[in-house]
Amino acid sequence: MSVGEIAEKVAGEQSAVSHNLCMLAGCHILEMRKQGKQRIYSLNAETVLPMLKIVERHVRTNCIGRCGT
């Protein structure tokens, strides 16, 4: 998504969202590519997405049905 799209979804100020996205890209949590004048951000498919799948599997196995949820 573009900075503007992300800012709209999180109801945040575009400059603050842009700053935070830049920091996350600097840590390689996000990938950034330029499309014209826009910067398009996505999750790092090589490292972050596999970790999220591990967390999702853990939640399905260990968390569902606990404490009335």
* Cβ burial 21-58 (10 Å sphere, 16+ → b, else e): beebbeeeebeeeeeeeebebeebeeebeeeeeeeeee
- Residue 51 pLDDT: 94
- Structural domain boundaries in the chain: 3-68
**Which pTM does this prediction carry?**
0.75
Cβ(3)–Cβ(14) below 8 Å: yes
Give me the residues of the chain with pLDDT under 50, please: none
Class of domain 3-68: mainly alpha
> Is the CB of residue 20 less than 8 Å from the CB of residue 7?
no
